[in-house]
Amino acid sequence: MKSINKIILTVSLCYFGQNALAAAVTQEQKIAAAVNTYIQPVIKQCRIPGMAVAVTFNGKNYFFNYGVLSRQSKKPVTQYSLFGIGSLTKLFTATTAVYLDQAKKINLNSPISHYLTQLKNPEFNKITLINLLTHTSGLSLFTPAVSSQSQLVTYLNKWTPKDPIGTERMYSNLGYGLVGMSIQSATGSYKKSVADAILKPLKLSHTYFQTPSNKNNLAQGYNSAGKAIPFTDSTLPAASGMYSSSADLIRFVQANLQSKFSTAKSLNMALQATQKVYYKTPFLTQALGWEVYPYPLKLQTLTQGHNSELKAKASKLNTLPPANQEGYFDKTGTGDQNTFASYVAFIPQQKIGIVILANKFYPFNERPVVGYKILQQILKS
């Protein structure tokens, strides 16, 4: 009788074990199908040499890699390959700024003239770090044609806002550059501050400031015409200067999704604080670094928020009491000289997020559409 029971138990364990394995494989296959459905056409239509995609769903990560780091080397893309992440850098800058604020090393409500004393223009006595982090400083999207910090300071000391500070949202790379300069002034090193606040606690070993010296695992960037462009370091590293991998970025997304992901409580608090919304425009709600949309979300709403023409224009805004809200969080990035394309998004209430990296520029407005459709297909499957 005992032998029969053992046989039944063994058969049962095998049966249920196989079912569990089949279910796990099925979920991975469903995610792979969703990613392939929308990534393969982009690669073909835009002739992208290489892409890296990572999805996190219910605490588990999935990686999908396509093509090569460069047409010359033919080295395959992996989840550890390095891509220029462009404006995704702003997410690291914003998180570091909040982390330092909570540590009493800077004050987000202080005017930036407190940290950048070389700015003698009285307008900068009115602009706070919060204004810079939420794109409400009045500073323009693009940086002026300057090649040094001294030239930048000269430009800023002559600058005049078109509208009262804090009344409109205008996306500004320059603003985030000034956040980085303020962190540098307050702590002695912007790079060390980011590393101490984020990279070390999350063990992001494939994330670098500006162009890595070892280029063996670095993707070559191509412009929209398919021309390989030489690497150049960003003039505003805190706005767009970082390189990272899909493996590291999906860990960063996980840390944003899970309030206790890191053993460093101060980092967890900072990540949650960056998700607080401050202003609402006709197209999106602005958090610190993140752009937030109501969820469930209509695709049209998302595409309006990522309209490149609207991005360069000022949008009227309504001030909100800073507070966390559920929604669709995302950010799009483009490497310097338009040689890379990146996108990251997550939906806290669905425990899902995505990272998409490409080593060739493709239309800015297409990136959120691809990411959104992949996430929705996964959730529906």
How far, CA to CA in Å, does 248 sit from each of 85, 244, 245, 253, 380? 12, 7, 5, 9, 27
Alpha helices in the chain (DSSP H): 2-46, 89-102, 129-133, 149-156, 173-187, 190-194, 200-202, 237-240, 246-257, 265-274, 299-305, 308-311, 366-380
Catalytic site includes residue 176: no
Residue among 38, 171, 278, 343 flagged as catalytic: 171
> Which strands form 208-209's sheet, in the order they lie side by side?
83-84, 242-244, 208-209
63 exposed, middle or buried (CB, 10 Å; 0-12, 13-18, 19+)? middle
Measured between alpha carbons, how far is 243 from 342 in angstroms, rounded to an integer? 11
Q: Characterise 351 by phi-psi region: left (phi > 0), alpha (psi -120 to 50), beta (else).
A: left
- Report the run of H or E that residue 83 belongs to, with start and end: strand 83-84
Look up 87 and say whether it is catalytic.
Answer: yes
Bond into 296 cis (ω within 30): yes
Q: Catalytic one among 87, 140, 244, 342?
A: 87
- What secondary structure letter does DSSP report for 121? -
Supply the residues annotated as catalytic: 87, 171
